[in-house]
Structures are given as C-alpha cells and as structure tokens.
Chains A and B, each alone.
Chain A
C-alpha cells in the first residue's frame, strides 16, 4: 500500500524539526513535517528559549557558535511574536574559584572570536541590582539572545510551507523504517530520507538511539518590567548539570519581553511523568532565592515541566542512522535545542544532500562511540 512520496520526511515539528524542514525546503527538496500535536509543542514549548554559546567542549562550542550566528543573521526577518531579544547572558560567580572559571571562559571565548566581559562585583551589581550582595562577579556574554520558541518554530515551519513543504499535525507516527512513515490514522508517507527529530521520544521510533528523557521545571511570574535585564546563570550550573545520574537544580533566570521573569532550572533522570515534582520545584526556587532574594515576593502565575532529550556525551545526534539507511537523526540536544537548531538543520541538510558541512559533523554523528550514560 503506497503513500505519498517526499524527498524528506521530518518527524517532529519542534524547533529542531522545524529548522530542518526550513533548511531542506530551502535546498529545493519536497518536505513533509509530521507531529502528533501542535508545532513546537514538546520541549520547544517548555524550555527557556535561550540562544547561548557554551564552552563545555570544542564540539559544543562549535555548534552553538555556528548556530548563534545563524540566529543573528535571521533576526531582521522574525515577526514580533518570536520576541527576539539580545539581552545577553551573565554567568554569575559566588567565590574566587568561580571567578577563576570566569576568566578561563573569557579567555576561551576571546580566542575563538566571541566578545565577553569580565565583571567584578561592583560592575555586576550595577548591571543587575537585584542580585544579592556578596557575589564576586561574573562573565557578560553580550551576544546571547532570548526568543519565544513556539513562535520561532512556527516561523520556520511557515517558511518551509511557503516553499511547498506539507505539514501533518495531530498525527502520531507509529513507526519509521525502510523509507516508510506509518501514521496513527492508518496512512503512510514515504521517503528515502526520514529525519527523526522527535526529541525526548526519539528512541521510541528508532530503537537503539541513546536518548534519555531529562525532566525540567520552570516557573513564570507576573510582569515586573525593569527587574531583570540579562539572562542570569550560575557558574555552578555546569558543575550541577554535569551529573548524568542524579537530580539537580541550578539558578537560571530570564527576562521575557513581557517583563515576566522565567525561573529555572532543574534536571532529573528517570522521571517519566509530566506532573510537577514539588520537592525538586521547591529546591529549584530556593536556589533561585539565594541569588535573587526579591523573587520571593513576586507573583508566580504558572509552573510547568518538559522533557529534554539527553545523550550520553552531551552532544546531539546529527546525521545518518546506522540501523537503516533511510533514517537520519537530529535529536538529543538536551538544554541547547533552541540554540543549536539552526546549525543542526544546516548540518543535516548537508548530510542529506551530500554537501560539505561548514563545521565538522563528525562529533555529532550517531555512529560515533559514546560512553554508557555514566558520570562524566
């Protein structure tokens, strides 16, 4: 029983799937995008929408920087509801050890062409007066950006649609194999290239794909314009997010264009249900209070959870899948999905069309060897 045939089928209309659809359509390929819910309804809806450079590894830096530049280049085209704001990030240091880390990051980024500024405690307070006193300083990364991801995903999807892509929403994918995508309504669509961009659920469709769900919590407040100017992240974030086995929280707040404050972040492995976990929510908020005492009295309007797609070595899977030569993978972006979506799309489209990639794709290939999910 044959179905419609496309050059590429993208499973998942989150930010990564949408970016891939946009990029493939730009290459002149006929594209189908399938999602079981609405555009940008998974981690894309749940996350913080930050676009940050990260220096955890060379490969992570390369992808985030490549991708960030692509976001910059698009900024004039985004409609208002994408809420593109170059508010910058400040990595906040609490002690001398963290200030050493600040200077290391400053050097690392400087050597690679990313402008950053080391802030002492006085400069930090001047930029963010609502941080508690007694912090030692921080690192300002002025080129970091914040967007509203569901609308960014919609923008990218619509660009693909304008180039002839087709969108199938509220349709679950039951299976992908050998060029066929089976949908829950009983129909099939076919393609020699199927891209699994299903995020936290990618392993359901591609058995053997080393993706684990990493649950996060967020809280958003009512409007407090002027309270916060930059995205703030504790330097301990990397220390705390490093553990791949235990629950962790880290201070991470973000100003939305509306003046609402987004408060995060938490990470849990093995939590499969989407209910709010009160214990970790409490830990997360108490951690936030430690950095910004004024948060306590703010009106909290909503909480929610989401599932990041995590891989064993903290780099995404981008490229052909070993188990089936019709399947490609574009997932496993953990907390950097928004940031690296555009770069991922470029790499993926290049892999599909056989072109040379603008940054090396090897570190992200699914065929690379990754350690078992263990303490890194």
Chain B
C-alpha cells in the first residue's frame, strides 16, 4: 500500500515570507520546486490577510510565486522523515511522500506565552492570536481589548484592532522605556523601519502605552472580565472583553531538530548560504533568528538561490541580509524578558494547559525531562509548544530531542511508511 509520491528538486516547508521567497527564487531558475504548508493558503502568520488587506509587498511576492510555477501543497502537514530525502505529510486522511533533492525549512515562529494567574480564562488570547481570530471573522467592533506582553507585534496588533473598531485602552509593554528608546534610536539605521514606525504612531494615537508594565492577573468567572495591570510598581484594574497577550516570538525549530539540524541559543545554525549542518537542508527566516519580514525575505531568497546552485546571486544579497539581521538582533535585545515575569505565577497557576499541571508541581524538578516524566507536563497534544518556552523561561530548563510525529497526526498516517527501502 504505497503512498502517493511527489519528487522535487527543491522542497520548501512553510509558505510564509521566507518560504515564498525561497521557493520563488529556486523555481525561477527552472527547477521543480514545491512549497508545503499546513494552512489553507500561503502567507504564514505575518501575511495572513484577507485579499483586500494584502500589502503591496505580499501581493508582489504572491504573484511572483505563481509565475514561477511553484507547486503549492496547502492544508498539508509535514510530520516525519522516514528516511533521507523524504518527508511525510498528512492531508485529511491521506499521506503524501515528498521526495526532495534539497530542502528549505521556513517553518516560521509562534508566539511565546507566559503563565500568570487567570491566563487560561476564555478570551485571554495571544496578541497575534487575537489578530488571527479577528481575521478569521471574530467580531471585535466596540469591544474593549487590553494588549500586553512584549515586542513590536503588540503595536501592530493594537493598530489593527483599532482599525477594526475595537477600543484599546492600553498597551502594556514589559520592556523598559530605556530598552525601547535604545531600540528606537537603533531604528535610525533602518530608514524603512522609521516610516513604518511613524505610520504606527499615527495609528496608535490616543492609546496609552505603558512600559515596564505587564498583566499581573486576569479575572473572571467563566470568561475574562477584567485584568490587574502592574505599571511601575503600581497595580490598577481595567475592565475588558479581551486580553491580547503575547511575549514576542519563539522559533518553530521542531522539524529542524527532528532532521538533525544543530541548534544554537534556540535558533537553527546556518552558514552564509543558509545551509544547516545537514547536507542539502537549508533554513530561512524566523527559525534562524526571529527578525520579521525583511530578514525572512532575504534569508529565503539566499536559501532558494543557494539550493539552486546560484551562489553568485545569493552572495549579492549578503549585505542586505547583514542589515536585516542587525535589526533582528536589536529586536531580540529590546524584547528581553524581565525577571519579574518569572514571579507572576502562583502555585495554582496552570503552566501546562493540555494536562493541567500547575506551577507548584513543576517547581521541584530540575529538568524538562524530569518534569515531563513525573508530571506529564509537555505530554499533551501541543507537544510542549506552549509550556516548553514558558518553562524554559521560568525554570531555565532546556528542551529535549524531538521524535515523530512533529505534529499530531492520525495513527494510520504514522503507520503508513511504505515497505522497506
């Protein structure tokens, strides 16, 4: 019982900006290129727009992807590598074998969530999470939304929500004014970013932005009703309908780890041509270091060109990448999490939401593995994607190796490896 198989010269996993750029450049040279993504359409998270809202840049790349005749595989979830140069992907009840000569991993990033009392209440959502929900139809007009956490995503989300008619009384950024100012001054080196910042400032006029501020507690009986905010040591209570709370992004390194890619400081290690330590496997965008669209687009292009053997053209992009990656590094510094956030959870605060493991049960363990084994933290369907980064921050635990499936799939899909090769 063989699975349908497709062969590619270059296979790209992830159809966000990095993946789109990689696939496009690789295909424009005439190679057979495929791009696979779990979502129903391309764009990943940052370009997840309804058609009218697409930025010019996103539209241009989308058109270019189509013209380059890249084979798109959407709604397909990569979950395993049964042998070299093959990935297994699940789509509904079917498994597809994707054979590749070269592989480009553009798996993006996800929001980092940190536990605090009340964070499991319905309507406490990620910042990017609430934006995604609104984009998928959540009515937000007239609703009060407190935006909190850290990172530029908060500003973008607050501006978006405002545009959609939400009332945003406050943005709580945990970084200090000092850290943000340093970052802001650093922006002077990136003219494009300045104009973005200016536009953002206009979109956010009237919204209080509190620095060195975070949500200490979310209140409500069946869903969120209000939050307690800490602001420069003072606590204040705000009634609200939603809390959009996320602490910047954490890279999706699960598939790279499964494939044996070396990870350093939480990011996939790559050389100048975006190649990992695994022969023929490249990585681009957020998993190399969270840096936003610009870094993703350049990384992706370099990876695509390098995978296609067009090293001279890849080299031509090196200096643009240096600049984009400098911005990424500055961003990382600005979003450093304060130690006060480690003290937010009480003993009862749930840390592992899949298995309902509270903080008190985790404290006594010295490693992620010990905690997993003895409390089942991280053993649920999210496979540690939420509680992993949280416990890494709270307890300095290091995550473990990754085993298949990289994402939950049907039992039958796991069984579907074709006969011995």
Contacts and interface: CB of A to CB of B under 8 A. Distances in A.
Interface of A: 37-41, 45, 81, 150-151, 154, 170, 219-222, 258, 263, 276, 278-279, 281-282, 284-286, 288-289, 295-304
Given A289-B412, A297-B410, A297-B412, A38 B373 contact: yes
Nearest to A282: B417
B208 interface: no
A279 B415 CA distance: 9
Interface in B310-367: 355, 366-367
Contacts of A219: 411, 414
Given A38-B369, A38-B370, A297 B411 contact: yes
Given A282-B416, A301-B381, A37 B411 contact: no
7 contacts: A45-B373, A282-B416, A295-B412, A299-B408, A299-B410, A303-B404, A303-B405
A301 B414 contact: no
B409 interface: yes
B198 interface: no
Contacts, number: 95
B82 to A, nearest CB: 4
A298 B410 contact: yes
Interface string B360-401: 000000110110011100011101000000000000000000
Contacts of B412: 285, 289, 295-297
Given A38-B369, A278-B83, A300-B409, A285 B381 contact: no
B138 interface: no
A281 to B, nearest CB: 7
A297 B93 contact: yes
Interface centre among B83, B383, B411, B417 (most CB of A within 10 A): B411
B80 A278 contact: yes
Interface residues of B, number: 31
B53 interface: no
Given A38-B370, A151-B374, A300-B405, A281 B93 contact: no
B189 interface: no
A279 B373 contact: no
Interface centre among A150, A154, A170 (most CB of B within 10 A): A150
Given A45-B373, A279-B417, A281-B414, A222 B381 contact: yes
Contacts of A302: 379, 383, 403, 405
Given A278-B83, A279-B420, A285-B415, A41 B403 contact: no
A151 B404 CA distance: 25
Interface of B: 80, 82-83, 93, 355, 366-367, 369-370, 373-375, 379-381, 383, 403-405, 408-417, 419-420
A81 B379 CA distance: 14
A288 to B, nearest CB: 8
A289 B1 CA distance: 14
Contacts of A296: 410-412, 415
A276 B83 CA distance: 11
A304 B405 CA distance: 10
Given A150-B374, A154-B374, A299 B414 contact: no
Contacts of B381: 222, 299, 301
B373 A301 contact: no
A150 B371 CA distance: 11
Given A38-B370, A150-B373, A303-B405, A285 B410 contact: no
Given A278-B417, A279-B420, A303-B405, A285 B374 contact: no
Contacts of A258: 355
B360 to A, nearest CB: 13
A37 B414 CA distance: 29
Contacts of B373: 38, 40-41, 45, 150
B403 A286 contact: no
B411 A300 contact: yes
A358 B26 CA distance: 73
Given A81-B374, A279-B417, A289-B415, A37 B409 contact: no
B411 A221 contact: yes
A310 to B, nearest CB: 23
Contact of A301 (B370, B375, B383): B383
A136 to B, nearest CB: 25
A295 B410 CA distance: 9
Contacts of B420: 279
A263 B411 contact: yes
Contacts of A150: 373-374
A281 B415 contact: yes
A300 B408 contact: yes
A237 to B, nearest CB: 19
Contacts of B403: 276, 302-304
Contacts of A276: 403-404
A299 B354 CA distance: 14
B87 to A, nearest CB: 12
A286 B416 CA distance: 8
Nearest to A151: B374
A301 B403 CA distance: 10
Q: Which 9 A-B pairs give the minimum distances between C-beta atoms?
A: A285-B415, A296-B412, A38-B370, A278-B82, A282-B417, A278-B417, A150-B373, A300-B411, A299-B408
B157 to A, nearest CB: 30
B53 to A, nearest CB: 33
A304 B404 CA distance: 8
Given A38-B366, A300-B411, 13 more contacts: A38-B369, A81-B375, A278-B82, A282-B416, A284-B415, A285-B412, A288-B411, A289-B411, A297-B410, A297-B411, A299-B409, A300-B408, A302-B405
A137 B412 CA distance: 26
Nearest to A261: B411
B410 A303 contact: no
B370 to A, nearest CB: 4
Interface centre among A37, A39, A219, A301 (most CB of B within 10 A): A301
B192 to A, nearest CB: 43
A37 B419 CA distance: 36
A276 B416 CA distance: 14
Contacts of B82: 278
